[in-house]
A and B are shown apart, each in its own frame.
Chain A
Amino acid sequence: MSFDIPSDSEEDDPDWLEGLQSGGDDADADFSGSSPPGEEEGAPDWLPDSSSEDSRSTSQSEEGEVPDWLAGIREAEESLQQSIVDPSSKLPAEGDSPDWLKSIRDQQVEETGSMDQAGDVPSGDFIGRIQQLQAQESAGGGADETQEWASGVGGEESPIAGETPSWAAGEQAEGADGPDWMSGLGGEEPEPQAEAPDWLAMLGSQQSPEEHPTAQISQSPVESGEARDWIGDIGGDETEPQGEALDWPGDIGGEDTVPQGDALDWPGELGDQPPGEDTSAEMAKSRVEGDEAPDWLSEMVGEEPAISPAFPAFTAGDQEGAAAVVGPDLPDLPGEPDEVKMPSWLDSLQESSQDVEVPDGTSVFDVPVPAAFTDEGESFLLEPTDLPDWLSEDVPLEVIEEPPARVETGDIDIAPAELPSWLQAMRPVEAVSLPVEAAVEARPPGLEESIGPLAGLSNVLPAEPDIVHFGTPSVPITGINITETQQNYARLLESLVIGEEEVHPPRKRVVALPQQILRWAIAGILYAAVFFPILLGGQSVPLPSTDNVIAEIQDVAVIIDGLPENAPVLIAFEYQPGLSGEMEAAAAAVVDHLLNQGAHPVVISTHPTGPGLAENFLQSTQSHHLFISDRHYVNLGYISGGTAALLHFAADPRAAVPLPLEEGGSGWDKSPLTGINEIRDFTMVLVISDDPDAARGWIEQVGPFLVDPSNPQSRTPLIMVVSAQAGPLIYPYYLSSPKQVDGLVSGLSGGAYYENTTNRPGLARLYWNGFSAGLIVSIIIIIFGGLFNLARLFLTSRRASRQ
């Protein structure tokens, strides 16, 4: 067994390492086997206090109310937590080394006479001391001692549970169950290897002896062959790969309870250190502080026995037991110098340590063990009165179950998540019909997309197969929410469609007899009212009085009166045969007035029946004029095309109506059309129409051509004789300014008024008696009918109210 541990210079070592070294100097033998006995089953006697002793000396002055040993534990916990958060914080500057550490070093120098050489070595150069031990071993000296402590280390793996003191057992149990600090230590998440400093990992990297039997201890360094393991080899338990995390918290609470590599190890090294390390430091601290030290510590210091050079922390019995457990099979501590690869900084440390002289003859592991950690000291230290309840209780030592091993990430089998019920309720219907997993698994490899934007591509991931559902769902969707209104609409549409398909036989209209009798009665009354005045003749009803000035009718008379003789007048007959009676009665007086003024009428019509009606009108009503009876008037006939024909005729009358003559030439060259080239060449335009649209067509299409472009004030007058039903619609054109219609005669009443105004008898006067009687009877019938319906409604409502 040999160590190839580089020595270190004092300047390069951090203070805490110096402290460790100073402790380690006393118990290097234990340091190499850093797993103290009782880590698995039972904590060694020194273990709890070893971690607490360090801090006890520093914190006891501040926490006087807390038991010293508990304060020390808290202090250790805090320091551990700080080291977890920031490992670098555990590296105080050399000048900032705690006093207790310095005192420990001083104490070591003073108490261990064999530490003379170590005292020459820099305080933090325990590595150099290890090298010295190597050199001594290689020289044959001290080999037995080394084997002894090494065997003691190996014996740590099988501690005797029954020998575990009650307080330690209780603390161990608490570490499993209860105290936060212990659980925090034991349950610390492993620091990533990359985040932990290498030296820290190497110092603390230990494994549970359960997981790494001692048989593997000697193999692992060789197999790994990494220089960083050398310091782990000092602990003797280093078998885990470097990639494993550190274990230090587990070492405090019980190494066996901490998963392998779950926590940092360096603080655990404090607990793993041989008892002599801490106890010597504590004793040194006690000496330095003098009276400030507690009594028990003072007594402890005073009773400081001679420390066993080989196993200072254990009693002889423990050592023997440990050796018996390990026996001759205890493997050699790793550290073959040829196989170890040192990191650069350790190389430098090694080089610098080689220059340091190690004190002769004294083993760095010869650390005095204070009596407090012996059986005697234990009983002294742990008085029942000083113990808290949880420690005073005789808690049986329990083997804490090992936490489940870390699961390899490569073999992670993640269980499918379970959706909560409310989330399942929010899933779309398609998701229920076709689960996502089924949809994904149902896709054979290499399947090409047939639809969608990825059509033609194969091996594509399904894009939300249950959301982007191109086809119809395999499970029919039921339970569509349809509002009542939508249902009504659907029923209405359905009834309409069905109604269209049904063939209804024609029903014979059946009229109720009273209604038929009423119809006959109304017809008889109306016929009688109209027929008898005509049959009786005379003028029982006076014509409309001329006292009531009707401007549009008087304007017609004024315009006609102003026509020159032989003036060509265009007369448009735009009415249907059915209304010829009204139109002839309304227009007869006007045309008669024209003929009396010597105008030469030119007849035209956009209705096919217009020319015939014009001939009938002139021959039946105006035959007393020789101009008409001799047929000197011109009938241009029918012009087809409606409004377009009107526009054409207004723009170019000669082109619109060719008027070919049988003897050759054109009718436009004959009187009265001679000199007519444009529409405004007519002296007047008279439109006789029963249709408001036809009358409006003349206004819109022909009216603009009646204005002289050279003199806008000069305009060919446009006069209209319209039916009573068209009068209200044409009347606004007369009221417009400028007037679009210069004169208007509307219906039989207008014709009668015109006859009365111009004092010329005509059809209007003949019809006026019957017309007046018919209107009166009609008004009476309407009033009577209204009263009858009102009475029936009243009776119906009264009957309904009675019922």
Chain B
Amino acid sequence: MIDVTDPVATLGTILSFFLTVMVLLYAFGDNALFRLTIHIFIGVAAGYAGAVALRDVLIPRLTNLTGTEFLIALIWVTLLVMKISPRTAFLGNPASGMLVGVGAAIAIGGAIQGTIIPQVASTSNLFGLDMAQTLKGSLILVGTLSTLIHFHFGARYTPNQIPQRSPIVRVISLIGQSFIAVTFGVLFAGIFSAALVALIERFEFIVNFMESLFSLVG
């Protein structure tokens, strides 16, 4: 953990120890040490991402492009840089539009081809296999439909009254709401589990650091 022969690594380990302790102090309330640690983390992460982008994206791309490719890329990059100033921001709209449009099209196409169609097909395949699979498929179907209906916000207008859903929609929405609650519970358990593991990992680091420190001292 602490290697005297590697001062940079030792310094890094010491900083990590203090930063970890500073974060854990949040359990006793919001404090300046916690905020300082958060600021350091955000700054280091941004700097690291920029460095990675420069090293892994810009330099290899710009150095390996031909004349025409470089010119096209330079035009798009220049237009996108125009977003810096409000006066020239409109010049970057085409580049932004292309990025957003292409990203949306890819995401939607992938969702349809990679998620919706396969999932619908696989769910429909559950029916008719056996009773257990049929019940499983029915549960999935009911959960999916009721959840979708729960997010249907159409309501009937009545004068001088608050618009309300029809009774049938309210019942189905209640079923969908129960499915959503179960889903959120599972997700919360996963998040808690992940956070708990992270805490354990930090405690493990602290224990190892302390053992290294005590071994070094002692």
Contact = CB atoms under 8 A, between A and B. Distances in A.
B154 interface: no
A564 interface: no
A780 interface: no
A663 B144 CA distance: 56
B119 A611 contact: no
B122 A735 contact: yes
B204 A703 contact: no
Given A723-B194, A728-B183, A735-B122, A520 B27 contact: yes
Contact of B201 (A535, A703, A704, A767): A767
Contact of A703 (B24, B114, B183): B114
B193 A609 contact: no
B84 to A, nearest CB: 19
A523 B200 contact: no
B119 A732 contact: yes
Given A484-B160, A660-B60, A740-B118, A775 B198 contact: no
A166 to B, nearest CB: 78
Interface in A631-681: 637-644, 647, 658-660
Contacts of B90: none
A724 B207 contact: no
Interface stretch (B49-57, B145-153, B166-174): B49-57
Interface stretch (A5-13, A256-264, A579-587): A579-587
A184 interface: no
A534 B209 CA distance: 13
B48 A609 contact: yes
Interface string B111-123: 1011100110110
B211 to A, nearest CB: 10
Nearest to A690: B194
B189 interface: yes
B11 interface: no
Given A520-B27, A660-B64, A778-B196, A700 B111 contact: yes
Contact of B194 (A736, A747, A770, A778): A747
B56 A485 contact: no
Contact of A608 (B53, B159, B207): B53
Nearest to A582: B197
A216 interface: no
Contact of B52 (A516, A579, A611, A659): A611
Interface in B32-66: 45, 48-50, 52-53, 55-57, 60-61, 63-64
B127 interface: no
B48 A612 contact: yes
A737 B133 CA distance: 13
B48 to A, nearest CB: 6
B191 interface: yes
A697 B29 CA distance: 38
Interface string A603-647: 000001101100000000000000000000000011111111001
A736 B27 contact: no
A766 interface: yes
Nearest to B199: A530
A380 interface: no
Contact of A581 (B27, B60, B198): B198
A535 B52 CA distance: 37
Given A608-B48, A728-B183, A747 B190 contact: yes
B44 to A, nearest CB: 10
A736 B53 contact: no
Contacts of B162: 485
Nearest to A532: B203
Given A644-B106, A725-B190, A771 B196 contact: yes
A415 interface: no
A770 B30 CA distance: 26
Nearest to B50: A608
Interface string A715-727: 0000000011111
A505 interface: no
Contact of A585 (B27, B159, B192, B197): B197
B103 A724 contact: no
A150 to B, nearest CB: 88
A140 to B, nearest CB: 102
A530 B200 contact: yes
A637 B183 CA distance: 35
Interface string A568-586: 0000000001111110110
Chain A: interface size category: 35 or more
B156 to A, nearest CB: 15
A526 B106 CA distance: 44
B110 interface: yes
A330 interface: no
A774 B49 CA distance: 33
A795 to B, nearest CB: 27
A692 to B, nearest CB: 9
Nearest to A736: B122
Given A485-B161, A770-B200, A725 B193 contact: yes
A523 B28 contact: yes
Nearest to B205: A581
A723 B190 contact: yes
Contacts of B45: 577, 609
Contacts of B102: 644
A767 B197 CA distance: 7
A725 B64 contact: no
B187 interface: yes
B114 A609 contact: no
Interface string A746-778: 011100000000000001001100110011001
A527 interface: yes
A647 B110 contact: yes
Contacts of B203: 527, 530-531, 534, 770
Contact of A519 (B27, B106, B159, B189): B27
B29 to A, nearest CB: 7
B125 interface: yes
Contact of A700 (B60, B114, B193): B114
Contacts of A778: 192, 196
Contacts of B200: 530, 534, 581, 767, 770-771, 774
Interface string A456-495: 0000000000000000000000000001110000000000
Contacts of B125: 737
Contact of A697 (B24, B110, B118, B202): B110
A638 B160 contact: no
Interface in B96-137: 102-103, 106-107, 110-111, 113-115, 118-119, 121-122, 125
Contacts of B119: 732, 736
B57 A727 contact: no
A696 B207 contact: no
Interface string B172-193: 0000000000010011011111
A611 B53 CA distance: 11
A511 interface: yes
15 contacts: A519-B29, A581-B201, A581-B202, A608-B53, A609-B49, A611-B52, A641-B103, A644-B106, A647-B106, A700-B113, A728-B186, A748-B197, A766-B204, A767-B204, A778-B196
Interface of A: 483-485, 509, 511, 516, 519-520, 523-524, 526-527, 530-531, 534-535, 577-582, 584-585, 608-609, 611-612, 637-644, 647, 658-660, 690, 696-697, 699-701, 703-704, 723-728, 732-733, 735-737, 740, 747-749, 763, 766-767, 770-771, 774-775, 778
Rank and list the top 4 A-B pairs by shortest CB-CB distance, nearest first: A581-B201, A700-B114, A725-B190, A700-B110
Interface of B: 24, 27-30, 45, 48-50, 52-53, 55-57, 60-61, 63-64, 102-103, 106-107, 110-111, 113-115, 118-119, 121-122, 125, 159-162, 183, 186-187, 189-194, 196-204, 207
Given A725-B187, A728-B186, A771-B196, 19 more contacts: A530-B196, A531-B207, A581-B200, A581-B202, A611-B52, A640-B53, A640-B56, A642-B103, A644-B102, A647-B110, A690-B194, A697-B110, A704-B114, A724-B189, A735-B122, A736-B118, A747-B190, A747-B197, A774-B196
